[in-house]
Amino acid sequence: MAIECQRRDLVVATNNQHKLQEIQSILGPRWRILGAQDVASGLSWDETGTSFLENARIKITALRGHFKGCILADDSGLCVDALQGAPGVVSSSYGGVEGDHSRNVARLLADLRGVPESLRGAHFYCLILFSNEKGEEKVFEGKCNGRILESPRGHGGFGYDPVFAPDGYSISMAEMAASDKNAISHRGLAMNAFKEAF
Ligand code: IMP
């Protein structure tokens, strides 16, 4: 599919200001990044999908009724080999409380107690779904392989960063500079794939 987009405005299906700034800095001035609240005040959605793609589509659909131009939705999570891909699409509520990163990390470490380093492989995955003003869609993906540490390290980043060491690194993602994380992260790779498509 040839992607066409007449407008430079890109609505991102999130209200997370940190994510909006991160996307603006990756894409540069060619796009004016807007959040969901900029075009549909009070809009919310339930991420009830069973796959990253389904969740991204739920977000696009929620916004489409309010905005006719280009929309981007991303969905990401941590997939752990020893847990058959969990927490996956439920990464943000794995510990029982939506968005409570400490509980999520605590449950993950409890689940992996006694699992040796050689079996603690995991990856972060990010799916970006882009929909242009004709409703044509394109998917972009990013993946970052690594392993789950025995205990949290570092204070940067968010989510599972303190317990995730990317392949080739002896430090956790929470110990990396933000620019270094963006260069290898699932979201950075997916966003760069999107950027290169235009
Ligand atoms: P979202 O789809 O970007 O909102 O991410 C869903 C959940 O996946 C987050 O709440 C985190 O638990 C986890 N996650 C996604 N990306 C990252 C990351 O870069 N570092 C750590 N955790 C992440």
Residue 13 structure tokens: 């299906």
CA distance 160 to 174: 8
CB-based contact 128:194 (threshold 8 Å): yes
Architecture of domain 9-197: Alpha-Beta Complex (3.90)
| Mutation test residue for ligand 1: of 16, 78, 127, the one with most atoms within 8 Å of CB | 78
In 11-161, which residue ranges form alpha helices assigned H by DSSP?
17-27, 36-39, 52-64, 101-111
What is the CA(194)–ligand 1 centre distance, in A?
A: 19
Give the residue numbers annotated as catalytic, written as ranges: 75
- Cα–Cα distances in Å, from 165 out to 75, 84, 104, 119, 142? 21, 19, 17, 14, 17
**Domain spans of the chain, in order of start:** 9-197
Instruction: Give the per-residue pLDDT at 1.
Output: 52
Does residue 160's CB lie within 6 angstroms of at least one atom of ligand 1? yes
State the closest ligand 1 atom to the C-alpha of 94, by its place in the atom list counted from 1.
12
Would you give per-residue pLDDT tens digits along the chain (198 residues)? 545 444 489 999 998 888 898 888 888 888 999 999 999 999 999 999 999 999 999 999 999 999 999 999 999 999 999 999 999 999 999 999 999 999 999 999 999 999 999 999 999 999 999 999 999 999 999 999 999 999 999 999 899 999 999 999 999 999 999 889 989 999 999 999 999 998
State the closest ligand 1 atom to the C-alpha of 47, by its place in the atom list counted from 1.
2
